[in-house]
Structure 1
Amino acid sequence: MYKTMTPGPTNVRENVRMARSLETTNPDIDPAFYEFYKETCELLARLLHTKNNAYILGGEGILGLETACASLTEPRDRVLILDNGVFGRGFADFVTMYGGETVSFVSDYHRPISVSELEDFLKKDSDFKYATVVHCDTPSGVLNPINEICNLLASYGILTVVDSVAGMFGEYVNIDESKIDILCGGSQKALSAPPGLTMLWVSDRAMEMIENRKTPIASFYANILNFKDYYKKQEFPYTMPISDIYGLRAAAENVAADKNILERHARIAAATRKALTAGGLSFFLEDGFANTVTAVSVPEGLTDRQILDTMKNRYHVMITGSFDTMAGKVLRIGHMGENANEADLCITLRAMTQALKDLGFPVACSMDEAFQKALAEDENR
């Protein structure tokens, strides 16, 4: 059995597993399940500080991104893609497959999007139906300032679609304050439920624009309109994965009860970065580190595969590499949700220390001890 410390899926608490094992009803025809679903969506809305409606869709987090783009995009709509990471760039694929025309605002993948540079761009061209932005771009762990970005876009009348799959519940998100029109989330990251569910939070403005399209949405499954009146009609567009939703509800209640969840993520992430630095490692990012995932550069003379395989096969700890432009260049440690705790990070950093030593890299210290020291210093501050 491996200790899994990847940036999602995360470890799942016992009460979440038990919730998924409960006896189920027929979610299509049982009024009690419609109440349960509605109450769960209302809890999700409260957790992210919004009056917007939340919806739970049956499908992994990527479904939310496609659903947002499918529902908003009509042929020849101009859409602004904020691209400072692999997933940020990837939004363009969803837009173009539904007939939209993309314009990319590309910035350095080693740091967050500059709000002032974006504003300079918009002064020259702001004729966009909506813009897409990734909160935490998981392949690099860069964190973008969505509050400032989305408020700026809103001032130009541009709707916003935000991917916070790897950000929410580990980073502060206030949908109403940020004026986000569609926020996309996934069950398997900091929420710490099993993979398989998408969550969407949709503003009235976005829903009105979707309802007033001139052309029909070119999808059934990726169509948010099919959920709009589910409670009034007592009808879902497809049979909901009821056991998964039972588990998600338990995970959301865990988050609601954890009053220090954001502080915990920040402390664990900061201590992890200090430990890796003390060990003689460096980071892919120059700035804008997320509190949910850290991307550390592969030391010269080694490969990511050597380190990953040694950690897994000898020390039974699984972290991961990255992909696309960062393939082979970085290792990623997930410290989100149930994984953001002292004991698991100690095990992970001890395994990384020993694996690097086994491979001949001169680790400057025991990184698990450096991690504990950083936590102690933070507590005594």
Structure 2
Amino acid sequence: MKVPMIMTPGPTQVNENVRFSRATQTTNPDLDLQFYDFYKETCEKIGKMLKTKNEVRVLSGEGILGLEAACASLTEPGDRVLVIENGIFGEGFADFVKLYGGEPFFFRGDKKHKISIEELKNFLDIDSDFKYATVVHCDTPSGALNDINEICPLLKEKGILTVVDSVAAMGGEEIKVDDWKIDIAIGGSQKCISAPPGLTLLSISEDAFKAMENRKVPIASFYCNLLSWKNYYEDKWFPYTPPISDIVGLSTAIDNILKDDNILLRHDKIASATRAAVVYAGLSLYMKDGFSNTVTVVQVPHGIDDKKLREYMVQNYNVMIAGSFGYLEGRVLRIGHMGENAYPDKVSYTLFALQKALEHYGFKCEHDMCKTFLDNSPFVISEKA
């Protein structure tokens, strides 16, 4: 099988040292006490990345597991939960809330803009009687980046627990869990972290644990029960056998991030240059503001079939980008410049391939995207600086 260069907004490309780590000989993670230390050390490294002293756990399941586990562990029948949404994933939190007996209430933002702090404040001044609130850091289908540094402290002022989906942002956007009053921050291995799919990373505050412990009814799940993880180290007991090879690879991927002092600046500069290249070529961005540094979302030109365009890129240039889904299906293209994808050579080649595919289907770019990108990305780093 010929593997394309995956420039999608997750899964992303995986560094060779992460792949090699996953091939390391492993032990029995349930019985070998050394692994409990390794798991704890890995969680502490993730905590350093997240700027938190809260407890961190790694769960066996793609990032969606973390979203459901947060809702399963916090929601009791009849709980009022605020769902802050301006995109597909934000809205999707309501399904988990309802699944566990909660009652979701929406604060709906404009889907082409980041969440308005002023409008949210006005909303909360009228009604703030919610057990917890959910918000998406980066809504991957649209590329919306929300100001969780302002949203979460505002919620906590009202006594509302905060649950943040940072799956598509964690590792590529700044996140300060403690300073920003985030009770549960959720990430995934396959996006900016640049490890293979299959793991959820999350931090859990003491306030969140207390809410779980003070429930009137038990958590209606085993696999999604975050409370069962609270004392794993002291008890030397995991709720289920951890996927040890995946966790070894994840640990190496976290090391890569912590060693890269320029990682956030690199994401910022590459994202800005990508947007400049797209706009200067005569294409339109989907978002009007709140642009993510991990994914650029471009409107498909009139008359072009996005699936055929993307297939052409794979078949002729061996580059894979993504379309979207839901109300954005067929309407946008998504370039994932996150994690191991966020290097100038990879993004410039992706823009070259995109331009050639657009020209093949009759769209003439006003300016060369590859040249514009390179002209606008002065922060050029060596491949592995």
TM-score w.r.t. the length of structure 1 is: 0.98
Matches within 5 A, 1:4-153: 4-153=6-155
Matches within 5 A, 1:326-337: 326-337=328-339
User: Is the 2:344–2:380 contact (alpha carbons within 8 Å) kept by the matching residues of 1?
Assistant: no
Question: After the TM superposition, which segments of 4 or more aligned residues of structure 1 sit over 3 Å from their partners?
Answer: 376-379
**Hey, what's the Cα distance between the residues in 1 that align with 2:139 and 2:329?**
15
Kindly indicate whether residue 192 of structure 2 is the aligned counterpart of residue 190 of structure 1.
Answer: yes
**Hey, what's the Cα distance between the residues in 1 that align with 2:305 and 2:114?**
27
What is the Cα deviation at residue 376 of structure 1? 3.3
% same residue: 57
SS of 2:378 mapped into structure 1: helix
Amino acid at match of 2:373: F
Amino acid at match of 2:111: Y
**Hey, what's the Cα distance between the residues in 2 that align with 1:183 and 1:3?**
29
The match for 1:350 is 352
TM-score w.r.t. the length of structure 2 is: 0.97
**Hey, what's the Cα distance between the residues in 2 that align with 1:145 and 1:116?**
12
The match for 2:269 is 267
Matches within 5 A, 1:292-311: 292-311=294-313
The match for 2:204 is 202
1:138-180 per-residue CA deviation (whole Å, 9 max, x = no partner) reads 0001000001000000000000000000011100000001000
**Hey, what's the Cα distance between the residues in 2 that align with 1:375 and 1:180?**
33
What is the Cα deviation at residue 366 of structure 1? 1.9
**Hey, what's the Cα distance between the residues in 2 that align with 1:247 and 1:377?**
29
Match of 2:182 among 165, 180, 183: 180
What is the Cα deviation at residue 310 of structure 1? 1.3
What is the Cα deviation at residue 309 of structure 1? 1.5
**Hey, what's the Cα distance between the residues in 2 that align with 1:189 and 1:118?**
29
The match for 1:170 is 172
**Hey, what's the Cα distance between the residues in 1 that align with 2:187 and 2:119?**
27
User: Is the 2:266–2:379 contact (alpha carbons within 8 Å) kept by the matching residues of 1?
Assistant: no
Match of 2:320 among 313, 318, 321: 318
**Hey, what's the Cα distance between the residues in 1 that align with 2:377 and 2:22?**
34
Amino acid at match of 2:232: Y
Amino acid at match of 2:325: F
The match for 1:224 is 226
What is the Cα deviation at residue 377 of structure 1? 8.6
Match of 1:369 among 364, 371, 381: 371
**Hey, what's the Cα distance between the residues in 1 that align with 2:339 and 2:326?**
26
What is the Cα deviation at residue 378 of structure 1? 8.9
**Hey, what's the Cα distance between the residues in 2 that align with 1:2 and 1:20?**
21
Judged with a 3 Å threshold, the aligned counterparts in structure 2 of structure 1 residues 378 and 195 are, in CA distance, closer, same or farther, namely closer
Amino acid at match of 1:362: K
Backbone CA RMSD of aligned residues: 1.0
**Hey, what's the Cα distance between the residues in 2 that align with 1:246 and 1:97?**
33
**Hey, what's the Cα distance between the residues in 1 that align with 2:309 and 2:17?**
34
Judged with a 3 Å threshold, the aligned counterparts in structure 2 of structure 1 residues 97 and 377 are, in CA distance, closer, same or farther, namely closer
**Hey, what's the Cα distance between the residues in 1 that align with 2:118 and 2:255?**
38
1:317-343 per-residue CA deviation (whole Å, 9 max, x = no partner) reads 100100001111000000000000001
